Amino acid sequence: MTVIAIIAHVPLASALHDCATHVYGDLENFVFFDIEPDVDPEQKVVEITEQLRNQAGQNHTVLALADLGGATPANIGARAVQRLQNAGIQAHILSGTNACMILNAIRYREKPLEELCEAVFEGGKKGMKCIDLVKGQ
C-alpha cells in the first residue's frame, strides 16, 4: 500500500487531510505536513524524510502531493522524495494538488506507483470544471 503524504502551505495540508478523512474515515499511512512560513527547510526535509521512511518500511511506496510546484512546500517535498529514493524507497511527488487528486490517491493507492500517479492526475483534471450559472437566475 502506498503511503500518501500531503505537503502544503499551512493550513492547506491539514485541510485536505481533513477533507479526505471526512470521505474515507481514518486511514493508515496517510499523513500531512503543514509548512509554516518561517520553516527551516533543511530541518523539515529531515523530519519528513524520517517520518515517511518509518511509515514506508520495506514494502511500501510513497506518493507526496504538494500544493504549488516551485514553492517552498513542493521544494521541501522534492528533497525528501529524493532522499527516500536514495534510500531505496520507491517515491514520487506531484504538485498542483486538489481535493480530487487526494481522493483518487486514496482510492487507487494499491496500484503500482506509475499507474497511481496517472490516476491521480486524471482525477485532478476531471475535478476541474467551469460551472457557469444559467442567465436569468
112-132 pLDDT tens trace: 999 999 999 999 999 998 888
Q: What is the pLDDT of residues 65-91, one digit of tens each?
A: 999 999 999 999 999 999 999 999 999
- Contact of 52 with 62, CB cutoff 8 Å: yes
Domain boundaries of the chain, sorted by first residue? 3-114
Could you identify the residue written with the cell 502544503? Answer: 8
Q: Is residue 136 over pLDDT 60?
A: no
E-strand ranges in the chain read 3-9, 30-35, 62-66, 91-94
- Residue 137 scores a pLDDT above 80: no
Q: Per-residue pLDDT for 134 more than 80?
A: no
Q: Is domain 3-114 in CATH 3.40.50.510, yes or no? A: yes
78 in helix, strand or coil?
helix
Residue 10 scores a pLDDT above 90: yes
Task: Say whether pLDDT at 36 is over 60.
Answer: yes
In angstroms, the CA 43 to CA 62 distance is 20
Q: pLDDT per residue over 51-65, tens digit each?
A: 999 999 878 899 999
